[in-house]
Structure formats: C-alpha cells, structure tokens
Amino acid sequence: MAHTWAYAPTQGFDPEGSLSTIPAIATTLIGVLTGRLLRSARSGAEKTVWMFVTGNTLLLLGIILDMWLPINKNMWTSSYVVFMGGWSLICLAMFYWLIDVKGYARWSKPFVILGMNAIALYVLAELLWSMLWVVSWTQTDGTTIALHDFIFNTIFASLASPINASLFFALSYVFLIFAVGWILYRRQWFIRI
C-alpha cells in the first residue's frame, strides 16, 4: 500500500485515515471563522479580545478532552484540534494586537517576506530537501553518501557537537529558503495560486 505512511508499524497503517478527516475539517473551520472575525467591522481591540478569550477557552477544553481522547498530532485527534486551535488563536491575537492594533510592525518584516510567497517557498524547501537525499554518489571507499550527509559531515559536523551541528544545518537551511524569499520580495515577484 504505497499511499500509507512510510514508517508504518504494520502494513496498511494510516495515522491520518478517515477518522481524522472530521477533525481536519474542524481545523479548517476554526481558520475560516477566525478569518470572518478579522474581516468583520468590529474594532481591533474587540477582535483581539474575541480571539484571546476563544483561544483560552479552546485550550482549556483541549486539556479536558485529553483525559478521554489523548492529544495526538499523528492521528489528528479532536483534542489535538481543539488544543492547537486554542494556541493558534492566542498567538494570532497577540500578533494581531502588536502589529495591526498597536502598529509595532518593523520587527515582523522577515515574516512578511516569507509570507508573501509562502506556498512557493514551502514547495521549494520540500523539493530541495528531497534532492539532498536523492542525490548521492559512491565514494572512493565504496560507500554511498547522500548530498545531505556530505554537506553535514563536511561543513557542520566539525563545528560543534552532533546535536548543535544539526541545529546549525537546520538554521542554515531556513536562512537559504529565506534568502530566496527575500530575493523574490525585493523583485516584487509574488507567486499566487
């Protein structure tokens, strides 16, 4: 079954199967309802309060639901949707208050740059990451090495301990994707679907 999870504990295991479809739709609906609130004629302060109160309510409800249905991202359980929907609303309320209501926007420029081509940068990041693992060659000692491992061993492994070298690799990768986003932003190239 090629359509199921690659690291499945048993053949045919699908952690995001039909039972997680309804909670996934609920995640979308939380976003739609939040979007409607943000587009409404209410004041910025009122929108912030609604998001903050609703977020805290969902967070508490998610913790309560966790007693019967554990918070599990892989299965996209209802408790996960409610809990993470709460955190998302709290974070959005905080950013909305700081940026849109209070006008403290200069610090958010990197997020604007990434957000203007978010889907294109996501696709680029996924394709490039796949290529780092697909491109490989046989070394002189007969072992095969992927481009990812070659870059990690050659550049990052000598800089720090393995865990910190991995962190530096990840940060460099994010910086690379951000650099592409910055170039697109500077040239006013916005890829829309």
User: What percent of the chain is predicted at pLDDT more than 90?
Assistant: 75
Is residue 5 domain-resident? Answer: no
Within 10 Å of residue 24's Cβ, how many Cβ atoms?
A: 12
Is residue 149 domain-resident? Answer: yes
Render pLDDT for 131-188 as a digit per residue (tens, 0 to 9).
Answer: 999 999 998 888 899 999 999 999 999 988 989 999 999 999 999 999 999 999 999 9
Give the confidence band of 72 by pLDDT, cuts at 50, 70, 90.
Answer: confident
Is residue 4 domain-resident? Answer: no
Question: Taking all residues of the chain, what is their mean pLDDT, rounded to a whole number?
Answer: 90
**pLDDT > 70? residue 9:** no
Which position has the token pair 């359509």? 3
Statement to judge: residues 79 and 120 lie in one domain:
no
Statement to judge: residues 22 and 89 lie in one domain:
yes
Render pLDDT for 117-134 as a digit per residue (tens, 0 to 9).
Answer: 999 999 999 999 999 999
Residue 75: helix, strand or coil by DSSP?
coil
Render pLDDT for 21-47 as a digit per residue (tens, 0 to 9).
Answer: 888 899 999 999 999 999 999 999 999
Q: Which of 103, 122, 150 is the last residue of a domain?
A: 103
Task: Provide the number of structural domains found in the chain.
Answer: 2
Distances (CA, A) of 121 to 111, 124, 181: 12, 5, 7
> What is the extent of the structural domain holding 93?
18-103
Which amino acid is it at 189? W
| Cα–Cα distance measured from residue 135 to residue 116, given in angstroms and rounded to the nearest whole number | 30
Distances (CA, A) of 170 to 54, 130, 151: 34, 14, 12
Displacement of CA 151 from its chain's centroid (Å) = 24
The answer to whether 78 touches 65, Cβ cutoff 8 Å, is: yes
Q: pTM of this prediction? A: 0.71
Is residue 192 domain-resident? Answer: no
Q: Which of 70, 85, 103 is the last residue of a domain?
A: 103
